Amino acid sequence: RPVVGVLSVQGDVREHVAALDAVGADPRLVRRPRELEGLDGLVIPGGESTTIDRLCRIFGLHEPIRRLVAAGLPVYGSCAGMIQLADEILDGHPEQQTFGGIDMTVRRNAFGRQVDSFETDLQIAGLPDPDRPFPAVFIRAPWVERLGEEVEVLAAVEGHPVAVRQGHLLATSFHPEVTGDHRVHALFVELCSG
């Protein structure tokens, strides 16, 4: 079973642990730098990206995670996790830093300026059983405003990319961990097994 860390400083950690477990991974909580050792992949949960960033820097996790992302560790970020994987963010806290890795610019709370949260059925490329729509839950979600050439768009809402992949890095604006549909986690665990 691929060993997949879940960054556990803030956010909906338990839901990701349950989803990873359901698709055959061996989830591990990551709160300290040494807990990053021996992972086949890492999940950055949804939550509050400014808090996740601040705590990661306080706990000495920021630099090691940056290095692992750059070294090719598969990493999946949902919502706040997507923000933390973006090379550039808009409407961030002035001091907010990201791990980066995906060549994109993401705007925080982009959908939230219209409606705070919503659910919609999405067609997501690359999922097992791709014709079956995915119930995507958006909560004060970011969207992608600029994409580099290496970035593949797996799904979009009204023209805004909401699921992207760049090599070993996967990010969604929405929260697949809060639905019973674990196909996004299955796709990620497949990347971790590769």
Q: Spot the catalytic one: 16, 168, 175, 182.
A: 175
- The Cα 24–Cα 76 span in angstroms is 16
- The Cα 19–Cα 66 span in angstroms is 24
- 132 assigned to a ligand binding site: no
49 binds ligand GLN (CB under 6 A): yes
Pick 8 or 49: Cβ nearer ligand GLN: 49
Q: Spot the catalytic one: 16, 168, 177, 182.
A: 177
Contact 166, 154 (CB under 8 A): no
Contact 78, 175 (CB under 8 A): yes
- 49 assigned to a ligand binding site: yes
56 is catalytic: no
Pick 83 or 151: Cβ nearer ligand GLN: 83
119 is catalytic: no
Binding mask 106-145 toward ligand GLN (x if CB under 6 A, else -) reads --xx-----------------------------xx-----
Q: Which residues pair with 172 in a beta bridge?
A: 78, 163
Contact residues for 156 (Cβ-Cβ < 8 A; gap 6+)? 162, 163
Q: Which residues pair with 105 in a beta bridge?
A: 88, 146
Binding mask 79-98 toward ligand GLN (x if CB under 6 A, else -) reads xx--x---------------
185 is catalytic: no
Site for ligand GLN in 62-81 (CB under 6 A): 79-80
Q: Which amino acid is at 135?
A: P
Q: Which residues are catalytically annotated?
A: 79, 175, 177
